Every structure is written in C-alpha cells, then in structure tokens.
Structure 1
Amino acid sequence: MSTERGATYGEVFAVREFRVLFGSFALLVSGDSIKMLALSVLVYAESGSPGLAAAAYMAGWLPHIAGGMFLLSLADRLPARALMVAGELVRVVVCLLLAYAGLPVWAMLALVLASGVFTPLFGAARSAMLPDVLPGDAFVLGRSLLGVTSAGAQIAGLAAGGAFLALVGPQGALAATAALSLVGAVFLRFGLPKSQPRQAVGVRRGAVRTTWRVNRELLSDRRVRGLLLASWLPPLWLAGGEAMIVPYLGGQGQAGVVLAAAAAGMAVGEFAVGRFAAPALRERLSLPLAVLMGVPWLGFLAAPGVGWAAVLAAFAAGGLAYQLGLQRRFVDAVPEEVRGQAFGLLSTGLMTGQAVGAALIGVAGELLSPRLGIVVAGAAGILAALALTRPLRPEPPVTATTMPSEAKDEVG
C-alpha cells in the first residue's frame, strides 16, 4: 500500500485481522453505551438519587486514570489477543452481576469502578495491534474508521439502550450488553492469530514500577511529549464546551440534539480527512483543524438557538480529525516494545483531559454564564492549538540514513 497516494477502504477491509478488530470494536462501543445507560437507570430505580444515577453513568470512565498510571506496562507484557478476549469476558461477568446478583447500589458502583481499572489495558492492546495488521498509511485510515465507528456506535448504542430499557428494563439491557461482549470475545479469539508479548519473557520489575518508569521515559522524549500534548490539549477544551451545552439550552432534549450533531460532525470529519486527504495533506491539516475546533464555539457570543448551536458543535467536533495527521508520527516516535503502553498513555491523557476540561469550563460557566463558558472554551482551544504549532506542523523529511524502510522504497 503506497504511502504516497494513501490507502483505500478496500485495502483496509481486505485485511482479515482488521475486520475482526473493527467488528469487535463496534460491538464494544455500542455495548458500553447500553451498559452505562442501563446502569444509570438501575441505580436511580434503586436509590431514587439523581446524583448517584449521574455517578453511575460516569463510573466506567473514572478508573481509566488509575489503570493508565499503574498498570499499562502489562499491555506489552501479555499477548494482545488474550488481553482483548479477557476484557470482553470481564464485561460479560460484570454485566450479569449488575443485572441479576441483586447488589446494593454501593456494590454496583464498586464493581464498575474495580473492573474499569483494567479497561486501559484492553484498549491499549487493540490500539497497539492496529499498526501490526495495517502497515503504512493503511494504519491511519484504519484509525479514522475506528473514530467514525466510535461516534456512530455511541449513537446507535444509546438508541438501542433506550429501546431495550423500554422493552425489557435495565436488567434485560445489561444482559444484552453481556451478549454483545460474548460475541466480541468469540470474534477476537477465533478471528485473530495467536499473538506474542511485545517484551521478551525474562527478568521483569513490578508492573506499577515499570509503568511509571516507561511513562516518564515517554514524557521525557521531546518528540513524543509534543505529540502527546498535541493530542491531549485541544480536545480538552472541546469537551469543556460540550459540557456546557445542557446548562446553556436548559433542556436535556435540546442538548441531546446538539450533542448528537457533534458526534455526527466528528464522524464526518474523520471520514473526509481519512479517506480523501493524502498522507502529506493530513499532516498539513493538523494545525488548521486543531484551531477549527475552537473557532465555532466563539459563535455562541451571538446566543444561537438549538439549530445553530447544533451546526456550530458539529463543525467544532469535525476538527477532531486533526489527530489523523499525528498518528503515523506517533507510531514512528515510540519504541515498538512499549507501543502498547504508549497508546494506553495517549488514551489515558485524552480521558483525563476531557474530565479536566469539563471541570474547568464548568467553573467558568458558574462564574460567568454557560454561554460565556462555551466562548471561553473556544478561545482556550484556539490558544492551545497555536501554542502547539511545532508538534502540530509536519516534521521535516527524514534523512536517508534514518529513513524508515517503507519511505526508502517509496523514494526509490
């Protein structure tokens, strides 16, 4: 697959391993959306507390930070296929316990929190395997497809979750999620070849110590650190703007329309840039698209209604496609033997950043107003992108002595 002209969807889907990863990922995202919605409804039914219901909806994401800080080195010490299958089976057990074990609310939340600590490992194994099965520019196109799938599967999962809740209640919805995870485990187990750990078996330090050491090494590398910050900071402010949509509109129904438009905008941006922009153009687009993420939020100075708010949110989220221009550079920058941990660190930073962005803009919304909080998020996003101009711009061509073999063949 030529990196000059860019890969095609036909080439990407011709790879059997990618089809397995793609299908299982769609099931995973849809299932998680159903699970968190059903859990929130179940907790509210048991407790009558809106606060606990909201905590249940977010509980699956909070442990991601702990897992990313302490356990990520296991993503390179254990076989990727085994990790992904284990992740699906853990979801099966958790969903069935939540549905049928009759647990009190505190036990349900504790179960979700405890199992969620290992989620970064499973995601890191999937992300690290993708460059193995899709070399060259096909990897970037594969990542864009997963981004599109994530947005679409979240919307589909929430819609399906609502339908399941109406038909069979939260227990039935959780059982459906368990079934999706079981199907995903079968796909992964029999669809992927047996994999080996990235790090050779030998004398090893503890997982926590190794995770901290490798995270420090990755962050001390100027090139890797720049790419990580460029991946983390602009979405931080996008998440902050989105967090203010509900208080700005004053109604969850209208807010749902705007947030769905944002998800659709993200999918369209990932699809358009991933499919129609050549590899070199994607890298050149990283900076302007990162800036674009903040510009639409400034339009909230005009106090738009739900229609225009949806349009602005869609354009802002469409700018997330800027990350496609960083993907190949990130893979090239990190050592192959710690690729799993590197992708896990990238994901952990994104998750943490979204929580931080929502909190910061939440404070701004309290001090000013939700509308002005959104504007602050836009301005901060633009400044963050401009401050990261260096890592967001394409890197100069590598020299002949350090050029990767694929690039040498292309030039030759």
Structure 2
Amino acid sequence: MRSYRRVLGIPGLRNVFVAHAVSMLGTIAAQVALSILIFERTGSPLLSALVLACSFLPYALGGILLSSVADRFPARRVLVVCDVLSAVCIGLMLIPGLPVGALLGLLLATGVIAPIFAGARAASLAHLLPVELFPVGRSLLRAISQLTVLTGFALGAAAVAAVGAPWLLAVDVLTFLVSALLIGLGTPYSPAGERSRSTVRDSWTGLRHLFTHPRLRPLILLTWVTPAFSSVPDGLAVAYSAQTGAAPAAAGALFTGYAAGTVLGELVVARFTPSTRRRLVVPLLLATQVPAIAFLATPSVPVAAVLLAVAGSGFAFNQAIDPMILDAADPAYRGRLFTVQTSGLMAIQGVSIALAGVVGTLIRPSLTIALGGVLGTAVVLGIARQALTTVRPHPVPTVL
C-alpha cells in the first residue's frame, strides 16, 4: 500500500485514477443496461450477447489503425477528447426508438475509442511517474479495474431494475464527462511526439516496431497469451456451474473469485521490491495456468472459485513485465505500444472465450478448462523463456 500511496501522492495522478474508476464503473453498468435493453426489445439472447462481443472486437481495429493517436497529440488532450466522444456515443443511445443495429454500432464506436484512451493513459503514466513507480501505477489501474468489475455488474443489474436501462445509460454519459473534467482540469501536461501526415501510416510504423523488435515482441506476446488461456473458465463459467449441478447463477462466484484474486495479487506484489518481482515472474505465470488443470476433478463451485482466485492472483506478474517493456521501448513509440498492447489483450480474450464456448459444446466444460490449463502452461512457459532471456540486465532501483 505504501507504493500505491507514493503514486497517488504525485500531483495530478490521483485525478487519473479517480477518473478511471468513475468512467469504468459507468461503462460496465451501461453494458449491463444495454444488454437488458436489447433483450427487452427483441427477446433475442443472441443480440443481447452481442453487446459483450461488440465490447471486445473493436479493440483490434482501434489498435491497428489508430494507435499513433496516443503519440501524435498531448496525452491529456487525447484523454479528454476520447472521454467526450464516448459520452456522445452513449448519449446518442438515448434517442427513443433507435434501431438495435444503431445501438450496437455506437457501442462498437466506443470500443474503437477505448484502446486509444488506454494507450494515451499508459504513455502519460510513463511520462509522469518515476521509472520505479511505473509498474505500481499500472498495477493500481488493474486493481481498480477488477474492483469496478466486481461492483459494476452487481450494481448495474440492480440499477436497471430500480430506475431502468435508459437512466443508467444517462449516468454513463455523466461518468465520461466527469472523467474528462478530472483529467482536463487536474492532470499535468505531457508533450506530444513527432508525427507524419498520416495517422494510419504512423500506426503501421508502430506495429512494425513492436513485432520486429526482438526484446519487445516476446514480452508483449506474454501479456496477451497468458490471459488468453486463463480466460477459458470465464467463457464456460455458466456451463461449468450447470455441470456440477449448481444453479447457473452460481457462476457469479467464479467471476467474483477470479476478480478478487486479481486485486489481492496486485496489492501483495506491489509491496515487493522490483528484484523480488522479477524473481517471481515464472511462479506467478504458473499460478495463472496450473489451477485450471485441477478442473479435471470437477471441483464444486466454491472450490473452483478458490482455484480461480489463485489464477487471478498470478496476474501480478505484469508488475515485473511492465518495466521490462518500458525499458525496451523507444519513448517515441510508447503511446502506440500501450494502445496495441491493450487492444491485442482485449481482442485475444474475446477470441479465446468464443473458442472455449465452441469446444465446451463438444466436450465437458471441466475437460475444456483443464485442457486450456495444460496448453496454457506449456505455451506461456515457452514464451516466458524467450522473453526473459532477451531482457537486458540492468540495475533496478528499490521501491520503499
């Protein structure tokens, strides 16, 4: 917690984290509201489920074509504009009688904007934080994200029942505007990088830099592939609960266990020194994958929730990987790098969840989860070996 207090004590950064919590809480609640709204209009489970798909898939588009926006303009301006555009998109959803296709299209637009926002925010953290506190700042963002996931889905369903979906969407508009004000009025200025005339060309240049860089490529792949395999239980949570004989609603315990474990892992590992985090990379990576193998025994839902909490705690490995990425990256490419990292992370999790659903219809959910754990362990360790052997050793300052 002391490291978190040091991060929050830096002028302007408290506003960044409060804005993140406010806007994300509103976004998650709005996703719940939109899912319910579309289901009420159409009665179609498929169209309602597309809300989740439309929340994941556009990240790839934003990361590929528009990642350079995070480098071409001052970070504060990018963050404020992204918040305002997102508020406009959600606000348009409030138009009475808007077709379902238009609602999903507006949601897709917010998904394109989201990775640009995340990339600019990470680049601004790299600019404003001392190098030894950068992984702690990113850790705090992840912890806030998981806490808002825990509260947002629960509060979203209750709020829709209490006030209705349109009012909840209106609240989401307000959260984006509050976030824009917090960032625009209370955060320090960070300069823009060099730019050419073409945003898309600059974005492609950033992608080439990322995927041809011998040190960056395996590090980024590690941050993508690890959650790709460990998200398999998320995609099969409801089916697995049914397999154990529990009610489908019991799947909520699995989601809660995973998120709670992630928050706990971030809080604990943030207290360690950078050198200790480096030594824990492989054990933490194993923690993200190995618990899934135990699903071969079809544990009860409470035991499964504990296993997923252990898996979630392993994601604190990012606290060691983030400074390696920062050290390897050219500062001129940081915005693009973090935008691509975020977009790839979301896209690959969406694909993984979809594939898990397909495989889970062919074989038992428990077996699918266990196979994901076996494959994930092998693949993640292989990439980790390459990533960690290509990292240049250098002195690491101690965080007190």
TM-score range, shorter chain: over 0.9
Question: Which of 47, 53, 56 pairs up with 2:48?
Answer: 53
1:91 Cα deviation from its structure 2 partner: 2.2
Which one of the candidate residues 203, 218, 229 is aligned to 1:226? 218
The corresponding residue for 1:3 is none
| Residue of 256, 259, 263 corresponding to 1:260 | 256
Residue pair 1:7, 1:137 contacting (<8 A) in 2 also: no
CA contact (8 A) 2:3 2:270 kept: no
- 1:95 and 2:90 matched: yes
Greater mean alpha carbon deviation, residues 386-395 or residues 181-190: 386-395
1:193 to 175, 179, 188: 188
Q: What aligned pairs does 1:2-401 form with structure 2 within 5 A after superposition?
A: 8-199=3-194, 204-250=196-242, 251-275=247-271, 277-388=272-383, 389-392=385-388, 395=391, 397-398=393-394
TM-score by length of 2: 0.94
In 2, the alpha carbon distance for the partners of 1:90 and 1:394 equals 40
Segment drifting more, 91-100 vs 378-387: 91-100
Q: Is the 8 A contact 1:263 1:317 kept in 2?
A: yes
For residues 62 and 385 of structure 1, the distance between their equivalents in structure 2, rounded to whole angstroms, comes to 23
Paired amino acid for 2:260 = A
Q: What is the CA–CA distance in structure 2 between the aligned matches of 1:117 and 1:375, rounded to whole Å?
A: 33
For the 8 Å contact 1:99–1:170, the answer to whether it is kept is: no
What's the offset of the Cα at 1:115? Answer: 3.5
CA contact (8 A) 1:287 1:393 kept: no
CA distance in 1, matches of 2:112, 2:347: 14
Q: Secondary structure at the match of 1:254?
A: helix
Q: The residue matched to 1:222 in structure 2 has which SS?
A: coil
Q: Are the counterparts in 2 of residues 100 and 171 from structure 1 also a CA contact under 8 Å?
A: no
TM-score (norm 1): 0.91
SS class of match (2:12): helix
For 1:185, what is the secondary structure of its paired residue?
helix
Instruction: Tell me, in whole angstroms, the C-alpha distance in 1 between the residues paired with 2:202 and 2:180.
Output: 28
User: Are 1:39 and 1:57, in contact at CA under 8 Å, matched by a contact in 2?
Assistant: no
Cα distance per residue 1:374-404 (max 9 Å; x no partner): 0011111110222122314694533xxxx7x
Alpha-carbon offset, residue 68 of structure 1: 0.7
Equivalent AA in structure 2 for residue 238 of structure 1: S
Matched AA of 2:131: G
CA separation of 1:161/1:137 partners in 2, compared to 1, >3 Å: closer, same or farther? same
Count of residue pairs the alignment pairs up: 393
Mean CA deviation greater in 64-73 or 190-199: 190-199
Displacement of 1:7 in angstroms is 6.8
Deviations 1:304-363 (A, max 9, x none): 111101111111111111111101110111110110000011111211221222233333
2:215 partner SS = helix
Structure 2: runs of 5 or more not aligned: none
